[in-house]
Amino acid sequence: MNKTQLLTKLWEQYAHITPSAEKIHELLQERGEEIINDHIAIRTFNDQRVNIAVLEKPFLNVGYEAKGEYNFETKKLYAKHYEHATDKDAPRIFISELELEKCSATLQETVQDILNNCDQNLFNDPELVLSGSVWKGNSQAIYKSLLEESEYAAWMYVYGFRANHFTINTNALKDFKTLEELNNFLEANGWKLNASGGKIKGTPEQLLEQSSTLADLYTVDFEEGALEIPSCYYEFALRYPMSNGELYQGFVASSADKIFESTDVKLQEAK
Ligand code: OOG
Ligand code: NI
């Protein structure tokens, strides 16, 4: 699989459970905007069968290089970001992992059971990053027990390996000079934004401003019956130049901490 095929498959899989992403994409295209992606995010557990070192492989194979590292103490997450070595228009890749050893014994056992009960060959599949919930997360009981401790773990159980969000490069839009203008346009068209920590995360001084929609609700068939669970969201990023004149390329941990919450069921109540 080459870079374009990998990124296209990630988009298709994401758009399938995130209809609002396609609608927002079309809404901007109808206004004559050309959409360039700033980054794509992937989630996982830090078990060595599926950790960042495993999920980064398809990206390293198509020319990406590891750059920044980020820690999220309260959420017990660690993340790395990747940039393409030669294609400056290629989206950055942001991969995070849940630090299982920092979680409760119950959560650790649950995740071990989930992974142990899978066909172990699945973890060596070069297309693992596109495989979704390989453990067929279909138990409401397990989903709810994970949700009590970690919204991230519960989301992983249901949706698994896939793009968690795509992000529009706001610098590349012609008609929107500020993130506030873009946010106002999206809200005027009926979209609800993640307001955790304010609708705009980050400041010009931090060289990155971000906003995001609240994740779509997707109907998931569990063995106990169907439930609507937040799936994926769309993000918008505006980058500022550093003192050398080049745009900042990294992420801002304090902002990312709030962006993660775009899939949180608790924020849906404000919808
Ligand atoms: C990643 C959240 C962080 C960003 O741009 O800061 C992030 C996630 O929700 O998996 O994407
Ligand atoms: Ni993001």
State the CATH class of domain 3-268.
alpha beta
**Could you tell me if the ipTM is greater than 0.95?**
yes
Residue 268: the pLDDT is 82
The b/e string for 159-177 (b: 16+ C-beta within 10 A; e otherwise) is bbbbbbbbbbbbeebeebe
Residue 55 alpha carbon to ligand 1 centre in Å: 16
Q: Looking at the predicted structure, is the pLDDT value of residue 271 above 60?
A: no
- Ligand number nearest CA of 98 is 1
Query: pLDDT, tens digit, for every residue of 21-51?
Result: 999 999 999 999 999 999 999 999 999 999 9
Locate the ligand 1 atom nearest the alpha carbon of residue 43 and give its number: 10
- Could you state, in order of their start, the residue ranges of all structural domains in the chain? 3-268
Residues whose beta carbon lies within 6 Å of some atom of ligand 1:
41, 43, 94, 96, 164, 210, 235, 251, 255-256, 259-260
Query: pLDDT, tens digit, for every residue of 105-132?
Result: 999 999 999 999 999 999 999 999 999 9
pTM listed for this prediction: 0.97
